[in-house]
């Protein structure tokens, strides 16, 4: 059996997308996803995205990190799937149902409402999520936000000099985050602009993280550091993030098809 895929990216955060809305493919086990995502032995991607039928939405978007683990949300992949579907659509995810729509050359996504309760992040025990009383070397007092998936955001004078490849994995796996966490280091450059680098749970450093941009924007707004509409500049490029009076987050940015291909099911056992 051959399986068709589309290789896509949002600002360099890349995906293998498989459209199984017809629901006739066998299950993708963790090990098969890991092999497909491997950059040396597979197709290579940060996230593996499977589209399945949904009773209540245009489709169900199943999201796996490169380590094989299934996760609740992926902002950049939501834009990519929005581009593939080509018209306003709703995507059922483990983190909730979100809505995508074409917006000029970009795709806009209604990412839903952020959550701030310690048990909603989740954290291991009760604490202030606007300034967690914890630190890892020079990274201190993060804001914790759940935007479908869990994020810790550290505001620092210059995010480019933080050794995120060392601190990211330590923080991701700290016992205070029972479901692990995405680690964001952010620098507010003015009231409408934030620079951001992200160590993604289950992947590592990526060129961009859409949910990280949403969580960071909301964290900056909660701390009074920015206006309610900001540009978040990631290594792969900018995203526009708004947090409306209706408490919903909107993310707007590009999505791109890199190439299409197919593989034999038995090549990835
Ligand atoms: N790249 C993503 C986030 C993907 C999931 C994340 N690594 C997690 O484990 O929660 C994005 O664009 O949001």
CATH of domain 135-247: 3.10.310.10
Question: What is the distance between the alpha carbons of residues 63 and 28, in angstroms, rounded to a whole number?
Answer: 11
CATH of domain 2-101+256-267: 3.10.310.10
Catalytic annotation, residues: 74, 209
pLDDT-based confidence at 124, cuts 50/70/90?
A: very high
CATH topology match: 2-101+256-267 vs 135-247: yes
Question: At what angle are helices 75-85 and 210-222 packed, to 10 degrees?
Answer: 130
pLDDT-based confidence at 202, cuts 50/70/90?
A: very high
Reduced DSSP (H G I as helix, E B as strand, rest coil) percent helix, strand, coil of the chain, to 5: 15, 40, 40
Domain boundaries, the chain: 2-101+256-267, 135-247
Q: Tell me the CA–centroid distance for residue 18 and ligand 1, in Å.
A: 17
Predicted local distance difference test score (pLDDT) of residue 196:
99
What residues line ligand 1, using a CB cutoff of 6 Å?
Answer: 13, 46-47, 65, 71, 74-76, 149, 182, 200-203, 206, 209-211
Index of the ligand 1 atom closest to the CA of residue 203: 7
ipTM confidence: 0.99
Does this model's pTM top 0.95? My answer is: yes
pLDDT-based confidence at 111, cuts 50/70/90?
A: very high
């Amino acid at each position: 059996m051959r399986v068709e895929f589309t290789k896509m990216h949002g600002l360099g955060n890349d995906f293998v997308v498989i459209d199984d809305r017809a629901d006739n493919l066998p299950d993708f086990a963790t090990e098969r996803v890991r092999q497909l995502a491997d950059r040396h032995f597979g197709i290579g991607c940060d996230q593996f995205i499977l589209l399945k039928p949904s009773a209540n939405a245009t489709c169900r978007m199943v999201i796996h990190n490169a380590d094989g683990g299934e996760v609740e949300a992926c902002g950049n992949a939501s834009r990519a799937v929005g581009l593939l579907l080509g018209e306003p659509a709703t995507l059922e995810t483990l983190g909730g149902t979100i809505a995508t729509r074409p917006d000029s050359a970009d795709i806009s996504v209604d990412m839903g409402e952020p959550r701030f309760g310690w048990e909603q992040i989740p954290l291991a025990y009760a604490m202030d999520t606007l300034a967690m009383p914890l630190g890892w070397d020079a990274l201190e007092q993060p804001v914790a936000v759940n935007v479908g998936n869990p994020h810790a955001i550290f505001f620092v004078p210059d995010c480019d000099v933080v050794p995120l490849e060392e601190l990211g994995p330590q923080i991701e796996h700290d016992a205070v985050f029972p479901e692990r966490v995405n680690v964001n280091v952010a620098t507010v450059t003015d009231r409408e602009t934030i620079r951001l680098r992200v160590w993604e749970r289950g992947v590592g450093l990526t060129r961009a993280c859409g949910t990280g941009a949403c969580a960071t924007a909301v964290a900056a707004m909660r701390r009074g550091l920015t206006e309610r509409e900001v540009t978040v500049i990631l290594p792969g490029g900018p995203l526009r993030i708004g947090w409306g009076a209706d408490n919903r987050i909107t993310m707007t940015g590009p999505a791109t098809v890199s190439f299409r291909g197919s593989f034999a099911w038995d090549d990835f056992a």
